[in-house]
Chain A
């Protein structure tokens, strides 16, 4: 044990050390780079589209396509690109979604930034990179390659930002996605037949089916929400059927001019809360794992599961032809208005020395041949989805749902895109709503304060 004298000396030297630290830090320089956004990018610049004329070049690509089919398509496409243009070497660096999200900030602000990076659409990633002037607006190449004809506007919106990064969903194109995602309803065909429910064709029919399942003694809706975000997709589905899509788009993209405090939004929240009160969900949703919930569907422990198309392959593995997928539209026969989006778009960094090459690469991995490769490797191609649909099974349902939503319905943004903090705000509020801690009014008020604070500061 230290004697008192030693202790005092220890405290003294600690004090000196601390003072040195503070002195050191105060004299240090300001963190961050003062890169002024280059707003002079000429949208009509001449674009070189012939890669074979570009000479021997290396293209550095950072992607997050690490899972089975994703990795396979990327490998195939890169190989095809190098074979078509022997003068080009593609240097690929792939990391998981989480890792990429964390390293991209540093990579983009460093001197040795990659040419092409896959950046999350959300405001706290792509939005802040655009704001910091680190991504190239793709307008000149979009014209040269006719990207606006290739992609439906409902999809392109997801990678449009104004050049100051303030408006999301319109403005310049900053990236192109390869794949699509759509949130809908999974079900077990056997289970529905067992409880005498026919597949609903519209939203009212879906709500009636839930009631019918409940009275048949089956859990109507399966949900695992310990992670906070799964219920956001359930809410998105309800909101899409209740609230005007243009309002949801403003709210979801975090653009000003809308409000959470509307009777329609409150009604959507009330629906979710009523479902919970009437026991439509499995017990203890806030304490159930996301994975545990869809596994319940495979065991016939419930009728429906609201979830994203990414669950299809797991469900198909477990259930085979028993699994089905649909998105109920408000009016039968139309396309649904539902949450969905795209895979992470491929973007070009401002630091890239060969933006023409980078653009040619992005064009190559999103063209018609690429979509075929994507479908063959078990991904959901974002363009002309219906053409690549498999013969049968839940994947076929997913392909046709995505197609009908993007062409005849409306793909609505993930609500957590709205503000950098919105994912947390919404996730926590929804847990509160499902627990009865918040009523529909308090729920919308909570969301409004985050949204309003953000849009006011823009």
Chain B
């Protein structure tokens, strides 16, 4: 057993042939180049069958006007033109961007403060607290949505609380209110994402050497200074990861909308993925649904790329 790797290495060595040295070395390098691809081949096959093929098929479908039953007609990029022109869809993408704030930006801000306090202050029962903060991530989104639906109901706990503390004027049917339903749903997203972000950031902060904080203290830095001078720069990579994960989650959010508001009241909380569902399964506009889906995929891809590029640049 022990000698086998050495022997195989010797065997891999290209046989030296006079005159053919350079070409044989080239083929050996080529062989070595292929090897890694052979390793990823099984995974790639699965990826190809379950990800790339459906993606290609969606792109394909998006070029047709198809009801899912009769023969489709090729319409080129008309579906994409419609995506850009449809006021309702533009609003849906706008809502998705609002959700980026509630799902990603807000949780990162809250998470940074929370994680900094938790790592720096000696909190008793830290692991319990960490579990509680992380809990929303573990619960299925449908369960979360149903629970919040009850909290937001006209005679639900939120309104009951408001009335109890004398703020009854603020009580309203949160999910049925044209102005407040979008932020109300957004807050649910914040509640869900904050846990993940906090735990990620805490892991990052735990890596900071204690000496840095000591040095800062000696130089007379307070907790705020400490936060901006040491903690924030050290967790840039974690922030990038957290932003990527939460932004992707916010843009593809579907279950939350489906269970809480179904895009209502009116169409004030509809999002692109809900529109995909509506078009494909309720209205039988498969081509248009595919176009919305592809557009959403491209948007997510571009935004994650930008976030990662910025993250890379500032951390190097």
Contacts and interface: CB of A to CB of B under 8 A. Distances in A.
Interface of A: 1-2, 7, 17, 21-22, 24-26, 28, 30-35, 101-102, 105, 108-109, 124, 128-129, 131-132, 134, 225-228, 282-289, 292, 420-421, 423-424, 427-429, 431-432, 435, 437
Interface of B: 52, 55-57, 59-61, 63-64, 66-72, 74, 149, 152-154, 172-178, 237, 261-262, 264-267, 278, 281-286, 312, 315-316
Of A108, A292, A420, A424, most B-chain CB atoms within 10 Å: A424
Contacts of B316: 1
Nearest to B62: A25
A25 B76 CA distance: 12
Contacts of A283: 154, 173
Given A17-B52, A34-B71, A128-B70, 20 more contacts: A2-B312, A28-B57, A30-B72, A30-B74, A32-B70, A33-B70, A124-B283, A132-B69, A226-B176, A284-B154, A286-B264, A287-B152, A287-B177, A288-B176, A289-B153, A420-B284, A432-B265, A435-B178, A435-B266, A437-B266
Nearest to A24: B56
Given A31-B61, A134-B69, A228-B264, A21 B56 contact: yes
A57 B282 CA distance: 35
A287 B176 contact: yes
A276 to B, nearest CB: 12
B45 to A, nearest CB: 15
B52 A286 contact: no
B70 A131 contact: yes
A228 B262 contact: yes
B200 to A, nearest CB: 17
B59 A284 contact: no
Contacts of B176: 225-226, 284-288, 431, 435
A30 B66 CA distance: 10
Nearest to B59: A25
A108 B70 CA distance: 11
Contact of A1 (B64, B262, B315): B315
A134 B63 CA distance: 25
A126 to B, nearest CB: 12
Contacts of A286: 173, 175-177, 264-265
Given A132-B69, A287-B177, A420-B284, A427 B264 contact: yes
A298 to B, nearest CB: 15
Contacts of A431: 176, 264-266
A317 B189 CA distance: 38
15 contacts: A31-B286, A34-B70, A129-B69, A131-B69, A228-B264, A282-B154, A283-B173, A285-B176, A287-B152, A287-B173, A287-B174, A420-B284, A428-B265, A432-B266, A437-B178
B235 to A, nearest CB: 14
A32 B69 contact: yes
B283 A284 contact: no
B278 A424 contact: yes
A423 B262 CA distance: 12
Contacts of A423: 282
A336 B60 CA distance: 51
